[in-house]
Copies of this chain bind each other. A is one copy, B any other.
């Protein structure tokens, strides 16, 4: 058996157009999901106690498989450095590294770090992003309303700082508001309407301020929703990507456009 051609490998591993490429992708998704299931099982004390050795072996099998995949991806890339530095290249490396590092950094006192490293492998799940094309529509809408969302989060940050500080003063350490950072944490829990209930105001004034925080959180959720609704509605009215100018090939034209808004060239009528 001779080595497969680099270009053939590339179309199979990186491409999704050929039947072989699709089969490879489906196999990879299944493998990623299985390896994550193994990680989840490994974290359950009783399962680990009974099947620890099996899980250890399976874990290494997955790591080796992903290492080989990483190697082959580097091998068959036209621009190897570009792949290694790309978002997916870093994710692919992060998905295998922890298991290897766990060998070189052993010892009782490093247990915490090792546990962290082992769990970092859960970043394998991010490898799935590659397959979600539909996400782009949403990401574009989010990108359009980027600045408005930033303003929203800045306001939220200011609000939780102010309300958190107020409750720290009013309630004080004896009611669980032990410091301003903890009080800000409480304000976030409250303004996002999560409401764990581990820290709750006990004094009438504290409860009144808490009520204002909740009502504010309940109302301002409307802001990001309104922004995104408006943006998505506009995006959909346009069917953004569909119409392209025959001259300059730019997209993003309205349904009723007769001429290209960028170069002034005549547009073809939209097909329904």
Q: Which residues of A contact B (CB under 8 A)?
A: 36, 39-40, 43-45, 115-116, 119, 122-123, 125-126, 128-129, 132, 134-135, 137-138, 141, 147-156, 158, 161-162, 165-166, 168-169, 173, 178-185, 188-198, 200, 204, 207-208, 210-211, 214-215, 217-219, 221-237, 240, 252-254, 256-267
Contacts and interface: CB of A to CB of B under 8 A. Distances in A.
Contacts of A195: 189, 193-197
Contacts of A162: 122-123, 125-126
A196 B196 CA distance: 6
Nearest to A226: B228
Contacts of A204: 181
How many of these chains are in the complex?
Answer: 4
A154 to B, nearest CB: 6
Contacts of A240: 234
Contacts of A259: 259-264
A125 B262 contact: no
A253 B257 CA distance: 10
Contacts of A168: 43, 119
Contacts of A191: 218
B221 A218 contact: yes
Contacts of A173: 45
A39 B138 contact: no
Question: A-B pairs with the 7 shortest C-beta distances?
Answer: A226-B228, A259-B264, A194-B195, A257-B261, A43-B180, A196-B197, A192-B218
A44 B207 CA distance: 15
A79 B224 CA distance: 39
Given A215-B153, A230-B232, A262-B258, A137 B148 contact: yes
Nearest to A212: B188
Contacts of A254: 252, 254, 261
B225 A222 contact: yes
19 contacts: A44-B178, A119-B169, A126-B162, A135-B151, A135-B155, A138-B152, A156-B215, A188-B215, A195-B195, A219-B224, A223-B228, A225-B228, A226-B229, A234-B236, A252-B254, A253-B261, A254-B254, A259-B259, A259-B260
